[in-house]
Amino acid sequence: MRKIQTDCAGSQTINPPTNISIPWFYPTTWNYTQTDTPQYAPSQNCSWIINIPKGMYAIFTFSANTNNETALRITDSTGYTTIIESSVPFFLLDPSFRVDLQATKNGSLGMGVTWYNVRQTASTTEQIHSNGSPLIAYSTEFDNPTVIQSDTKVSLLALPPTLIITDATELLRNTQIFDGPDINSTHVGNLYQILISGKSFVSSGKYLTIYSLFPGYGTLGNSVILQDYFNVKDFKSYKAINCISLITTCEFDIDASDGTAVAIRYTPSYFFIKDVSMPQTNVLSVYTDFVTPAHKLADYTSTTSKTDVPQKINGVFTSFLLNKDKAKVIMSSNAENAGWTSGFNGRRGFFYSPNYSFNSSSQDFSEKIQTSSSISNISYTIERAAIQGSATLNVIISKNQKSVIDTTYSVTNFPSGPVSAEGDQISVTYKSNGAWTTGSFVSFQIDKSATANGILIAVLISLWNLFSI
């Protein structure tokens, strides 16, 4: 039977031992190897203040079984308080942290603290710029201090591990954030705290430093998205979209009730907007990379979302801006699941280069949409041709596997206005052929065929004449 502990009342101050390889335990008779956690007596208020010298950090581990009427809290050196509900370790910096137990009923508790010297390693510096692309950085990069340098301030969004389905977000406590150009700058918390806030963290100056205290711990695909604050300062809400890589569909809610809201997604590959749900009062705008007029791909309303999705979206960064109220977006990583290649009468959409709006020689794409009707009126407009050098753009509208329109645009054959024809398939292929361009953008629409309507009317008239004789 467990021994009831009665000696924890009051406040205790704990200092690291001379030999920091020796952990401190409470109670002193307990350690990590024991599965039987000691009990504490009811009606106790206990506090432990654990000191951490400058240049050190501490790992706090514990085993606890409390009840609803008991509060077990930890407060770190920044003043951030956490109610302890799991056994995931805490990583804590100087000068101290505090553990409080307020028990009305008995329970069990065992605690351990081990002190370590903060590793002094060379840092790396990454730059972000106003009117420049966001930056993705992964947890493995933070084993050494990563310094982010901006033109104005640094905006940081934390993403949880995306390689696993189980919740491992608390492992992000290992990675610390410093408001300045090195790890001697003001410590403002850890990535887990930023993640659960659901908001971005903005530095006070041009620099931010990210550093994992214990190398290799919790590197499960978590990352951060960094932008110069100039690019996001006008948003009331700014958050990251998290999608588990092993799951086909992913959805997110965006709330602009208090003003303009933006959600940004990073993916090294393409994805598909499968559905958009929103009231009739707002507009959801989609941008490649960051929000700027030159990067806008589309506007969705409650009406157009019924005809303009599914829609394929190329990586790397995609920003969703909502002007007011709320919206829900469902995405898919699978073309068949999204219904991307299936056309229906009334459908609208577009094809575009993978690095659209950026000067690149990697702009090739090839897309095809097959209509659900045997005959539809298919039209397209080349919004941006990106025809220069050896680059070519080929558009084919076919019917029953035979080309109705087959046009290749080049420097000797520039596109003009909209083109339409009756058919059951449209295919668009862009090849840069080594030329550096800002990418091609071709919009399309599929409508009910006027010819099909005429044939149906003629058939009905013939039948009417036949039966009226």
pLDDT in tens, 400-425: 999 999 999 999 999 988 999 999 99
Q: What is the pLDDT of residue 285?
A: 98
Using the structure block, give the residue that is written with the tokens 């039948």.
463
Residue range 210-227: average pLDDT?
A: 87
Tell me, yes or no, whether 351 lies in a domain.
no
Q: Which domain holds residue 51?
A: 4-117
d(CA 451, CA 422): 8
Alpha-carbon gap, residue 423 to 426, rounded angstroms: 8
Nearest to 341 by CA among 367, 305, 374: 367
Other beta carbons less than 10 A from residue 369's beta carbon: 20
Number of helices (H) and strands (E), helices first, in the chain?
3, 38
Last residue of a domain, which of 340, 368, 400? 340
Is residue 387 scored above 70 in pLDDT? yes
DSSP code of residue 353: -
Model confidence at 466: pLDDT above 70: no
Is it the case that residue 460 has pLDDT exceeding 60? no
The confidence band for 7, taking pLDDT boundaries of 50, 70 and 90, is low
- List, for residues 136-194, the tens digit of each pLDDT value: 999 899 999 999 999 999 999 999 887 665 667 888 999 999 999 999 999 999 999 99
457 occurs within a structural domain? no
Question: What is the spatial distance between Cα 36 and Cα 446, in angstroms, rounded to a whole number?
Answer: 69
Partners of 177 in the beta sheet? Answer: 189, 210
427 found inside a domain: no
Is 464's pLDDT higher than 70? no
Q: Are residues 224 and 253 in the same domain?
A: no
Determine the Cα–Cα distance for residues 180 and 125; give it in Å rounded to an integer.
12
Question: What is the per-residue pLDDT across 35-50, written as a single tens digit (0 to 9) for each?
Answer: 788 888 888 889 999 9
Find the mean pLDDT for residues 290-316: 96
Q: Are 141 and 124 in contact (CB under 8 A)?
A: yes
Question: Comparing C-alpha atoms, which of 164, 119, 163 is closest to residue 142?
Answer: 119
Mark 244-277 as b/e (b = at least 16 C-beta within 10 Å).
eeeeebbebebebeeebbbbbbbbeeebbbbbbe
List the structure tokens of 228: 């110069």
Q: Any idea which of 149-158, 214-223, 355-364 has the lowest mean pLDDT?
A: 214-223
What pLDDT band is residue 462 in, cutting at 50, 70 and 90? very low
* Residue 19 lies inside a defined structural domain of this protein: yes
Same domain? For 247 and 217 the reply is no
Residues 255, 286 within the same domain: yes
Assign 88 a pLDDT band (cuts: 50, 70, 90).
confident
* 124 token code pair: 């790396």
Output the furthest CA–CA distance in the chain (Å, rounded): 112
Residues forming a β-bridge with 380: 419, 444
**DSSP assignment of 152-167, as one string?**
S-EEEEEE--SS-SS-
State whether 49 and 108 are in the same domain: yes
Rounded to an integer, the average pLDDT of 448-469 is 51
The token pair at 331 is 């995405």
The pair phi, psi for residue 110, each rounded to 5°, is -135, 135
Last residue of a domain, which of 233, 251, 272?
A: 233
- Nearest Cα neighbor of 305 from 343, 341, 279 is 279
Q: Say how far apart CA 58 and CA 99 lie, in whole Å.
A: 13
Residue-wise pLDDT for 311-351, tens only, equals: 999 979 999 999 999 999 999 999 999 999 999 999 999 99
**Per-residue pLDDT at 452:** 53
In a domain, 315, yes or no: yes
Q: Which of 117, 109, 87 lies closest to 20, judged by CA? A: 117
Domain shared by 88 and 168, yes or no: no
Amino acid 450: pLDDT: 81
76 Cβ neighbours under 8 A, 6+ residues apart: 82, 90, 92, 93, 97, 189
3-state DSSP call for residue 77? Answer: coil
Averaged pLDDT of the chain? 91
Per the document, the length of the chain is 469
Are both 205 and 100 inside the same structural domain? no
Residues near 121 by Cβ (< 8 Å), separated by ≥ 6?
Answer: 143, 144, 145
Sign of CA dihedral 333, 338, 341, 347: negative
Q: Decide which of 340, 370, 404 is a domain's last residue.
A: 340
Query: Are 152 and 98 found together in one domain?
Result: no
Stretch among 92-96, 107-111, 318-322 having the lowest mean pLDDT:
107-111
The pLDDT of residue 396 is above 50: yes
Based on the fold, state whether residues 169 and 97 are members of the same structural domain.
no
Task: Tell whether 455 is covered by a domain.
Answer: no
Q: Is the pLDDT of residue 304 over 90?
A: yes
420: in domain:
no
Share of the chain above pLDDT 70, in %: 92
Residues 192 and 258 in one domain: no
- How far is residue 272 from each of residues 363, 364, 439, measured CA to CA in Å? 19, 18, 19
Output phi, psi for 57, to 5 deg.
-140, 165
Write down the pLDDT at residue 64.
Answer: 82
Please indicate, yes or no, if residue 374 is contained in any of the structural domains. no
- 34 with 131, same domain: the answer is no
11, pLDDT greater than 80: yes
Residues 299 and 248 occupy one common structural domain = yes
The SS3 call for residue 450 is helix
Give phi and psi for 196, each to the nearest 5.
-75, -15
Of 263, 268, 276, 288, the C-alpha closest to 384 is 288
How confident is the model at residue 104, as a pLDDT?
83
pLDDT of residue 166: 60
CATH number of the domain that residue 67 is part of = 2.60.120.290
* Number of separate domains in the chain: 3
Give mean pLDDT, residues 90-108. Answer: 92
- Distance, in Å, from the CA atom of 88 to the CA atom of 70, rounded to the nearest integer, reads 19
Do 258 and 216 lie in one domain? The reply is: no
Q: Determine the straight-line distance between the first and last CA of the chain, rounded to whole angstroms.
A: 102
Query: pTM (2 decimals)?
Result: 0.91
